């Protein structure tokens, strides 16, 4: 099962890359036609931007994602002894290299893992999770994150972050040049209609596409990571108690978390109880806890 999951995630990464460049090309065509009256330059610019951005994210993913979430790295056990040793222990049990360790200064309990592969992985925990959880509960959370590392979920999630960020960047570019594009088409009524429709499609589809990218990373991975945590700790109760505490806490501050990376966290850091689960990047916490209780 483990090797099948790893192989499946690697195949998904290739498909996600292909989808990323396809959609970047579509967005570029729309913006190129709107701003330059020609779609080919827009496609070329968008694809070059996508290649550069994806390459940068792939080579510097950990530093970029941690910077997006204002995480500070700790480099020895003296800075956060419990967290350091728990991560060290869970990495050893999961048979993956010790990842880099980061802390986010936020009172809401949460954590995530990122990186391109187990050899270049990192985990981050909020100050809230360190103060709220017991050692047993924190072990369950870190075992969950080590399962993401072991299964190569982190590579898939990192590509998703790159995609949503790049798409948002192109959408913002189109928004800022709305007035310029409109003036270029002022003497061409038919062109005005096409340009306006294209620009609206870009602005509407970009955030929708960002959401769909997050959903493309199967929510089932959270159930698998929960199961993996039980496998590593032999203690479902620790993770159950941790998820209960996390689910009853307030969302993280908007200043401390990037919306593009929200899917990385063990629980959606921006989701309030009033939001629907229809477009959630995480399965309902009640379902995850129920599944753990059956183990």
Catalytic residues: 145
Q: Which residue in the block uniquely carries the two structure tokens 């694809």?
A: 47
Q: How many angstroms separate the CA atoms of 66 and 114, rounded?
A: 9
Q: How many angstroms separate the CA atoms of 29 and 44, rounded?
A: 9
List of residues 6+ apart from 158 with CB closer than 8 A: 57, 58, 61, 65, 114, 115, 116
**Residue 158 burial (C-beta neighbours within 10 Å; 0-12, 13-18, 19+):** buried
Q: How many angstroms separate the CA atoms of 258 and 66, rounded?
A: 10
Q: Which two tokens stand for residue 83?
A: 């967290």
Q: How many angstroms separate the CA atoms of 137 and 140, rounded?
A: 5
Q: How many angstroms separate the CA atoms of 135 and 137, rounded?
A: 5
Q: How are beta strands 111-115 and 121-126 bridged, if at all?
A: antiparallel
Element (H, E) at 122: strand 121-126
Q: How many angstroms separate the CA atoms of 207 and 165, rounded?
A: 10
Count other C-beta atoms under 10 Å from residue 118's C-beta.
20
Q: DSSP assignment, residue 177?
A: T
Q: Which residue in the block uniquely carries the two structure tokens 């999961």?
A: 94
Contact 258, 173 (CB under 8 A): no
């Amino acid at each position: 099962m483990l090797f099948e999951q790893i192989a499946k995630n690697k195949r998904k990464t290739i498909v996600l890359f292909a989808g990323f460049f396809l959609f970047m090309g579509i967005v570029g065509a729309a913006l190129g036609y709107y701003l330059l009256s020609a779609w080919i330059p827009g496609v070329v610019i968008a694809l070059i931007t996508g290649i550069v951005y994806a390459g940068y994210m792939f080579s510097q993913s950990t530093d970029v994602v941690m910077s997006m979430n204002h995480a500070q790295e700790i480099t020895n056990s003296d800075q956060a002894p419990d967290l350091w040793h728990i991560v060290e222990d869970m990495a050893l049990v999961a048979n993956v290299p010790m990842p880099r360790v980061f802390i986010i200064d936020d009172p809401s309990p949460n954590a995530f893992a990122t990186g391109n592969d187990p050899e270049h992985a990192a985990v981050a925990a909020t100050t809230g999770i360190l103060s709220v959880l017991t050692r047993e509960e924190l072990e369950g959370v870190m075992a969950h994150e080590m399962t993401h590392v072991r299964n190569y979920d982190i590579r898939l999630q990192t590509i998703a972050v790159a995609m949503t960020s790049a798409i948002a960047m192109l959408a913002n570019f189109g928004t800022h040049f709305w007035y310029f594009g409109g003036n270029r088409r002022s003497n061409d009524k038919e062109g005005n209609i096409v340009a306006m429709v294209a620009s609206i499609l870009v602005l509407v589809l970009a955030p929708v596409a960002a959401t769909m990218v997050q959903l493309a990373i199967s929510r089932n991975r959270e159930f698998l990571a929960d199961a993996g945590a039980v496998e590593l700790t032999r203690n479902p109760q620790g993770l159950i108690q941790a998820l209960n505490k996390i689910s009853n806490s307030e969302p993280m501050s908007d200043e401390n978390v990037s919306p593009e990376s929200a899917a990385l966290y063990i629980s959606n850091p921006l989701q309030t109880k009033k939001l629907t689960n229809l477009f959630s990047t995480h399965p309902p916490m009640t379902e995850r806890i129920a599944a753990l209780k059956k183990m």
